[in-house]
Structure 1
Amino acid sequence: MKTLIRVTEIWVPNQQRTHLEFFDGLYGELGEFKGASQTMAFAYGEGMPGKAWATRRPVILHSFDNSYFLRTEAASKAGLTAGIALPIFAGDYLQAVIVFFIGDDLDNVGGIEIWSNTPADSFDMGMDDGYYGTAETFEWTARHTKFRPGFGLPGTVWQSGMPCIMQDLLSSKRTLRHDSNVRIGISKGVGIPCSFDSKQALVMTFLSALGTPIARRFEIWVPNEDGSGLRFGAGDCDQMPHLSECHGDATIAPWEGAIGESWKNGIPTVRDNLVFEPGPAARAATSAGLTSMVVIPVIQDGRFKAAVTWYF
């Protein structure tokens, strides 16, 4: 099954904090693009990673041509046509920038959205920008939809300040976009709070379609009561519908596997092979035939809140 995201990259500040340098990535068969990326470094405000660093917010590039993107030739050769960059801050300190690339397939359906609310201007959360592939009707609907706290995926994340996995979007009346969901087959979504400015609330949503999902499994791991480990908070899996029963009372220790690393160092983590990956999450994913993973730490007000994990 094709997934909407074809490449994931992680960029971190160098020791002098003057540039962002390559840290890790998932490239699948696009080894040549990986080679071109590993040699790059981005100054403050330069390229997609630098732009996300400077603006302190997610950025979306719908097309690389005639833009500030610096790898247009390599991306075009790899069949990549759009990108999304998400900065991870701990207070004022940039931890990393994670970048997602999407291909040019004509059957790409799904969504990656940025929603915002400025309390001084509105009580609602509206869409700043979004990528939808060929789902043009859904895009029009999204750009004309507002959410109050607690409603829809953006409003739920906004109200709670926590990441959220929303299932059954095809039947949910709380999405406020039900008709468009049905027409293009968007079935589930993951929302991540990404506010790094007290004057504005920001939420990033990843909408997974039936034909080109974001990933095959989503999980949220949160600190347990005494903060000694991470426990399973929520999840959704195409291969294993009763994911909470699978994980049970499983605990991830500090620095244990990709999730434990991301928890303790505040940097997104990827793994392209889970066979030897430690921890209960990776073992369960491997048993379901999943082979790679992405971990995104959620840090709000300088504190680790959760790890959002997805698997391919």
Structure 2
Amino acid sequence: METFIRVTEIWIPTRDRTRLELGAGLYGPLEEFEALSRTMQFGYDEGLPGKAWAAGHPVILKGFEGSYFQRTEAAQLAGLTCGIAVPVFAGDFLLAVMVLFCGDDEAHVGAIEVWHNDPAVSHDMSLLDGYYGTAELFEWTSRRVSFRPGTGLPGMVWESGMPVALDDLGDGNRFLREDCAVKVGINRGLGIPVSRNDDQHYVLTFLSALGTPIAHRFEIWTPATDGTALLFDSGHCEASPELAEFYAEAHIGLGEGVLGKAWLSGLPGLSHDLPADPSIAARAALSAGLTEVVALPVIRNGQLKAIVAWYF
């Protein structure tokens, strides 16, 4: 089963902090695209990573041809059609930019969205941009809906300031686009707060279809109240649905595995070698047949609030 996300990159500032260089990436079989990417750097407002750095919020680029994107030919040869860049800040200090690439074909249904609220302009959160694959009806609906704090997936994330995972978008009234989502096959959702400060509010949402999930497994881990470990909060796995029961007594130490290192450093992390990861999360993913992980820290007012992980 092929996932909606095909490539993940982490770009980090160079030592003089004037440019971004590739820190790590998951490319699967796309070796030529990987080789080109490893030769490149991006300045402020340059290329997709640099645009997200300058904007200070996630940026979605739905077409490469004729744009500021600098790897167009290689991306087209690799079958990539869309890029999403997510900057990670601690206050005004850029830590990294995570870039996700998706591929488009007739079988792909799902969405990656960026929702935005400017308190000086509106009380609502509306769609800044989104990538929907072939889900045209769902995109049409999404561009015409807005959310108040606590309503819908974007509003729930906005109100709580925490990532939120919805296991079944067709069950109950928490997902306000339920009818349209069911019609196009979208059944799971994950929302992540990605705001730098309280002046502007941004939420990143991943919406998965059963046949083409964004990733095979999502997990949300939060620090224990005494700050000694990460504890499992929520998540979903296509192969092992009883995550909460399995992780009931689980914990991840500071610096332990990819998730623990993301907690320690505040930097996003990834690995294509889960057998080398000592954490219980890695062992559980391996038992479900997964070998790669991406970890994104959620930082608010200089404090790490959660680690969101997804697996391939």
Q: TM-score range by the shorter chain?
A: over 0.9
- Structure 1 residue 266: Cα displacement: 1.3
The answer for the alignment partner of 1:45 in structure 2 is 45
The answer for the alignment partner of 2:104 in structure 1 is 104
Amino acid at match of 1:131: Y
Q: What's the secondary structure of 1:202's corresponding residue? A: strand
The answer for the alignment partner of 1:140 in structure 2 is 140
Amino acid at match of 1:104: D
Q: What's the secondary structure of 2:23's corresponding residue? A: strand
Deviations 1:226-245 (A, max 9, x none): 10111111111111221011
Q: Is the 8 A contact 2:135 2:184 kept in 1?
A: yes
- Structure 1 residue 9: Cα displacement: 0.3
- Structure 1 residue 276: Cα displacement: 2.1
**Counterparts of 1:142 and 1:122 in 2: how far apart (Å)?**
17
Q: What's the secondary structure of 1:99's corresponding residue? A: strand
The answer for the alignment partner of 1:3 in structure 2 is 3
**Counterparts of 2:197 and 2:254 in 1: how far apart (Å)?**
28
The answer for the alignment partner of 2:115 in structure 1 is 115
**Counterparts of 2:200 and 2:207 in 1: how far apart (Å)?**
22
Q: What's the secondary structure of 2:277's corresponding residue? A: coil
Q: Is the 8 A contact 1:158 1:201 kept in 2?
A: yes
Give the gaps of 5 or more residues in structure 2: none
Q: Is the 8 A contact 1:222 1:231 kept in 2?
A: yes
Q: What's the secondary structure of 2:170's corresponding residue? A: coil
Please say if 1:298 is aligned against 2:311: no
- Structure 1 residue 198: Cα displacement: 2.4
Q: What's the secondary structure of 2:68's corresponding residue? A: coil
The answer for the alignment partner of 1:208 in structure 2 is 208
Q: Is the 8 A contact 2:105 2:134 kept in 1?
A: no
Alignment: residue pair count: 312
Please say if 1:224 is aligned against 2:224: yes
The answer for the alignment partner of 2:257 in structure 1 is 257
- Give the TM-score normalised by structure 2: 0.98
Deviations 1:163-192 (A, max 9, x none): 110111023322111121111111111101
**Counterparts of 1:197 and 1:263 in 2: how far apart (Å)?**
20
**Counterparts of 1:50 and 1:84 in 2: how far apart (Å)?**
12
Q: What's the secondary structure of 1:173's corresponding residue? A: coil
For 1:39-188, what aligned pairs fall within 5 Å after superposition? 39-188=39-188
**Counterparts of 1:4 and 1:183 in 2: how far apart (Å)?**
18
Q: Is the 8 A contact 1:254 1:264 kept in 2?
A: yes
**Counterparts of 2:229 and 2:104 in 1: how far apart (Å)?**
41
Deviations 1:4-59 (A, max 9, x none): 00000000001100000010010000011000000000000000100000010000
Amino acid at match of 2:61: L
Give the gaps of 5 or more residues in structure 1: none
**Counterparts of 2:37 and 2:110 in 1: how far apart (Å)?**
26
Deviations 1:231-278 (A, max 9, x none): 111111111221011112211111100001111111111111212211
**Counterparts of 1:97 and 1:172 in 2: how far apart (Å)?**
35
- Structure 1 residue 148: Cα displacement: 1.2
- Give the TM-score normalised by structure 1: 0.98
Q: Is the 8 A contact 1:189 1:207 kept in 2?
A: yes
Q: Is the 8 A contact 1:170 1:185 kept in 2?
A: no
Q: Is the 8 A contact 2:197 2:301 kept in 1?
A: no
Deviates more, 1:265-274 or 1:16-25: 265-274
**Counterparts of 2:190 and 2:197 in 1: how far apart (Å)?**
22
**Counterparts of 1:107 and 1:288 in 2: how far apart (Å)?**
24
**Counterparts of 1:162 and 1:242 in 2: how far apart (Å)?**
22
Q: List structure 1 runs of 4+ shifted beyond 6 angstroms.
A: none
Please say if 1:288 is aligned against 2:282: no
Q: What's the secondary structure of 2:11's corresponding residue? A: strand
Q: Is the 8 A contact 2:197 2:300 kept in 1?
A: no
Q: Is the 8 A contact 2:222 2:231 kept in 1?
A: yes
- Structure 1 residue 286: Cα displacement: 0.8
The answer for the alignment partner of 2:245 in structure 1 is 245
